[in-house]
């Protein structure tokens, strides 16, 4: 498996991913012109020399090098809410209190806001169902952090991820069904398609600006606020293990949670290692070598390029900390465009830690199709 920047030759595969991902996956829509524009924008972003985050959007694809098939995609937006507003609802409480009548009541409300303007966003994570295999979902998720760790000047201090909320197989969202009944008479698939293609002017025109009291909603709508789609739970578990937390901000349309973390505090960023490369003969690590703490650890490895970025996962590499040197076999070095004595960045693909505890993600969840962040 190799991860690389998206190219125009990936258009057909990207369009198929847009179909397979279904309603609610707003960062990819089944529109050839839109996807072509998205690919071109990504190519321009990778080729741009910049020292501050702007309107860059980086889209990666996971490729099977033996067949050339595109297995999935993942992306990063350098700075959201700049070209067009990024809206959320903030979930909080208000207190109604009358000392004279000795009455007090706490009520939950949703307030529309633009809290995350200027933040970086990890997004567009989708692993195609027929390519479920060990470590594919992990690599799609973690590779973005390795790219950000190598090029921190391109990204904001705060990183967010909008998690896909609850919707059924027919693309119906209980939360949006309630909003549609009372405010915006558009179906969920139409709304998500409009937002995905950048047509979100209707939000300012039609969406309620005043606080929404959740106790006035029907039970189905209220129950899904802050909840994630069942197929998104593995992705959320991985992000929580990286240090992402939900602070009460939810999506306007399906009420899925948005999680956030400081870039420097993301586990895969802070624990990744930049070092030199030594190209060696091919090796086949053994379990005994793994247990000795040497060759055989499962690593996610990237080169340090932008437009020529490459990444993969391998156990055929060995880190020599005393020399800050990573030994890799020649075939692997070639696939990652690495040269002897060049630079590389890597991290271990072990169970991620949250604080002092280790959060183990079951293997069957790691292998599930990832319907992750919009």
Q: What is the pLDDT of residue 360?
A: 37
Cα dihedral 15/20/24/28 (nearest 10) = -20
pLDDT digits (tens, 9 = 90+) for 153-193: 999 999 999 998 998 877 789 999 999 999 988 888 888 88
Kindly report which listed range (14-23, 271-280, 337-346) carries the lowest average pLDDT score. 14-23
pLDDT digits (tens, 9 = 90+) for 249-262: 999 999 999 999 99
Residue 106 has pLDDT above 50, yes or no: yes
Do 129 and 368 contact (CB within 8 A), yes or no? no
Residues annotated as part of the active site: 229
Q: Average the pLDDT over 102-109 and give the result.
A: 93
Residue among 263, 332, 260, 345 nearest 301 (CA): 345
Work out the burial of residue 270: count CB atoms within 10 Å of its CB; fewer than 13 is exposed, 13-18 middle, 19 or more buried: middle
233 phi and psi angles, rounded to 5 deg = -60, -40
- Which residue segments constitute the domains of the chain, with CATH numbers given? 2-86+115-265 (3.40.630.30), 273-350 (2.40.40.20)
Q: For residue 366, what is the enclosing H or E element?
A: helix 363-366
DSSP string covering 257-315, please? Answer: EEEEEEGGG-HHHHS-EEEEEEEE------HHHHHTTSTT--EEEE-S-STT--EEEES
Residue 353 has pLDDT above 60, yes or no: no
Q: What is the mean pLDDT of the chain?
A: 87
pLDDT digits (tens, 9 = 90+) for 190-230: 888 888 777 777 887 888 889 999 999 999 999 999 999 98
| Residue 152 neighbours by CB under 8 Å, 6+ apart | 263, 264
């Amino acid at each position: 498996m190799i991860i690389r920047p998206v190219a125009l030759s990936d258009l057909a595969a990207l369009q198929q991913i847009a179909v397979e991902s279904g309603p609610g996956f707003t960062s990819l829509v089944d529109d050839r012109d839109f996807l072509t524009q998205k690919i071109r924008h990504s190519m321009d972003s990778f080729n741009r020399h910049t020292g501050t985050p702007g309107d860059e959007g980086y889209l990666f694809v996971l490729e099977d090098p033996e067949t050339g098939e595109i297995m999935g995609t993942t992306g990063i937006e350098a700075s959201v809410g700049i070209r067009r507003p990024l809206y959320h609802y903030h979930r909080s409480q208000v207190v109604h209190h009358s000392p004279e009548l000795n009455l007090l009541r706490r009520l939950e409300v949703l307030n529309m806001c633009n809290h995350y303007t200027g933040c970086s966003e990890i997004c567009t994570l989708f692993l195609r169902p027929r390519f479920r295999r060990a470590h594919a979902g992990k690599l799609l998720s973690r590779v973005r952090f390795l790219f950000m760790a190598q090029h921190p000047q391109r990204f904001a201090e705060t990183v967010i991820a909008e998690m896909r909320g609850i919707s059924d197989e027919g693309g119906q969202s209980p939360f949006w069904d309630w909003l549609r009944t009372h405010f915006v008479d558009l179906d969920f698939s139409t709304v998500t398609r409009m937002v995905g293609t950048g047509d979100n002017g209707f939000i300012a025109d039609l969406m309620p600006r005043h606080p929404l009291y959740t106790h006035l909603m029907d039970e189905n709508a209220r129950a899904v606020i802050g909840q994630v789609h069942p197929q998104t739970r593995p992705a959320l578990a991985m992000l929580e293990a990286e240090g992402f937390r939900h602070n009460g901000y939810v999506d306007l349309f399906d009420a899925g949670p948005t999680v956030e973390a400081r870039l420097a505090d993301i586990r895969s960023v802070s624990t990744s290692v930049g070092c030199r490369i030594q190209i060696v003969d091919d090796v086949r690590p053994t379990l005994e070598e793994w247990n000795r703490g040497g060759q055989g650890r499962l690593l996610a490895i990237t080169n340090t390029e932008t437009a020529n970025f490459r990444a993969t996962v391998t156990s055929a590499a060995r880190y020599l900390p005393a020399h800050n040197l990573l030994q890799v076999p020649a075939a692997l070095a070639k696939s990652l465009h690495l040269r002897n004595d060049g630079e590389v960045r890597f991290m271990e693909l072990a169970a991620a830690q949250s604080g002092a505890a280790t959060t183990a993600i079951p293997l069957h969840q790691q292998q599930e199709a990832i319907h992750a962040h919009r």
